[in-house]
Structure 1
Amino acid sequence: MLAETPGIRANDLWIRATWDGHERPDVDCPLGAFFGNELGVNAIGVLSHGTRADGVSYNYFPMPFWRGAKVELVNKSAETLRIARWDIRCMTEEASLSRYPEGRAGYYRSSSYRESEATRGADAVIGRIEGKGHMVAAQVTALARKPGIVSCEGDVRVFIDGIATPQVESDGSESYVCYGWGFPTPPETNPSSGYDGLPDNPWSMVRLCAGDCYPFREKLVFGIESGDYNNQYLRHSGILFYYGVNSPGMLLTDELDVGDRGSEEAHGYAAIGGRGSYTLESGYEDGTRRLLKDLGRETEGYSEFTVAIDPRNVGVRLRRRSDQITGRQRARVFVDGERVESRSWYFADRNPYKRWLEDEFEIPSRYTAGKTDITVRLVFEQEGENRAWNEFYYWIYSLV
């Protein structure tokens, strides 16, 4: 899509796109955010979407549909708005069907637009997505109480599929879009990221994520903190763009509470070469101050347990809660006596302060397809300073 909209203020004009007669619009956002330029102070853009120096805005993301498309422009101001130019480019039906076969491609969608507001003492949630898909772009805009202050210190945190440890965490907002030391000299732009605004406040950043690893099978939550530890007043707005479908791509089929006698017996849990059990009360690296207390075990040998899975699975995901007081936890994974040869379960990081960690291991379908349960054995491997494998809780997801 191409558009030329001179003189139209941010958020006055919105775009709505509905594919294949869906009840709700798949895309519903301000036109500036749709074109990667929410503030509109300067012309910035990335490969996928942006605004050129001549004032023409573009969005080149493919937007597949199979039965029909409805694209609307919604005037949310009290004035008459005029668009100098608007183009929509379509592929031929044959080319579209061969490139985006139905059932094998997601719909191009936006999260619900977050209006500019402050969130006190917690991360500002820019977007929540449910279903199955892949995030491809993020737009975040921030405004502090007064101009001329450094207002981009907050970290971006992305949580995928309900995991408590963020899979993505930046070192400040500017680091998320590949710049350092604040936003003092806008505009800046490169093929995958850019930012607009006035020096440090207000600012707006855009990142193209199509080449990054943001797949989700159940949900995705994208947040950003205000200051060093949510100690600064910032008004955040923004939106996420993704390809997705409504149905989830994984099912929770079992849980094992290590340290709970009933749960251990129900799953045939055994720890050989164990160093015993211990209780930990600590927090996650999630930007909150919540504490969790749990009983778990550690072993220098191996642990084993049997869990239920969906026979329709196309793989199984194991999620573990563990203590990351020491790093480089590694274990060999066996399923029904057969080693998963492609890789070990390995997590390199450590945090002796916020010690709770949730990490995951995916078992390929060749070990799990058609089965209603599997027996998993995790054999500790020495790596670095770590002296044992520890485990407090397991969630078992069948990928579908």
Structure 2
Amino acid sequence: MLASKRILLIIGGGIAAYKSLELIRRLQDRGASVTPVLTRAGEEFVTPLSVSGLAGQKLYRDLFDLGDEAEMGHIQLSRSADLIVVAPATADLMGKMAAGLADDLASTLLLATDTPVLIAPAMNVRMWQHAATRRNHAQLLSDGIRCVGPNDGSMACGEFGPGRMAEPMEIIAAIEKALADGPLKGKRILVTSGPTHEPIDPVRYIANRSSGAQGTAVARALAGLGAEVVFVTGPAEVPPPQGVKVVRVETALQMAEAVQSALPVDAGVFAAAVADWRMAQASDRKLKKSRDGLPVLEFAENPDILAAVSQMTEGRPELVVGFAAETNDVLANATAKRARKACDWIVANDVSPETGIMGGSENAVVLIRGDGVETWPRMGKDAVAQQLAQRIAAALAK
């Protein structure tokens, strides 16, 4: 979703500058090109060679580089990117930006640009909480500057509190959101993900092997195309994506309620592995072994969330996409499921143990629609998600 995007990365002078190296790599993994600008203070924490080597681009450091300034290089540099990212954004850099000062290359670029700017503040907790920094931060937000973080955490100085720079993946999510002026802009999409846990007693529950990785990837891809995403997730192994509204649930009944609360939406993608059954009456205390024999577990059927939304008579989403995890006869079972549930599409996959797909990093799916079937090759779950998001965008554009 960041393929061919051009990022101008300004690295300020703070201990968090080391994270900028991973940020460069993560951006490149997603197809973005990174042009680095390193401040003099930033050179105290990362070397010009490491930054330029990772970026694979010329490193810019000085305002008065005669070769570039002969053609007003700093003006061209400030406007040739899709987004300018300042990470770390120190108190000094934020102060210069808020006051409109321009006494070095970084501050001059930021004053001369008409490109969107995203900052990732990083500083000592007392500096972040100082009245001057708070005023500068408020002014930057008022000026339309986007901001990610800072987070609470331990500081290099030994203090704890707000001021720690956002992690590279958090910054990536903020970059994707800042650039998400895509084909799904203005669309609201619901995504369910992860397993559900159905309690047997206070310490035991019924669950499945879903990690939530595919649903998380789908939500991230849709947000990357500009959608407003409501992400309803069970207790998944993978963390939810940044830049989406996250609703956490435990049980199928809670998920059904959260889905109804999220409506109306333009599209619903039901990737969660919802338990088919729950205990008819969960015990309020731990079940104990008994000489009388094994306990009898009585089950009740959980609500069919996908069918309920697909069969709505009023306010039905324009597009409803279900998932079918099968261990045999994948195409036949998934096709029957699509007809039974009355959803528009089914994304089916083979989760037999030998495939390694359930809980793994790759997937091989079949997209079943009313007008035909698409068999996709095995690929990473992020790639599957991006391909599905593009299909959804095309369907909603009709």
TM range (shorter): under 0.3
Q: TM-score, structure 2 length as denominator?
A: 0.28
Q: Who wins on radius of gyration, i.e. which is larger?
A: 2
Which one has the bigger helix percentage? 2
Which one has the bigger strand percentage? 1
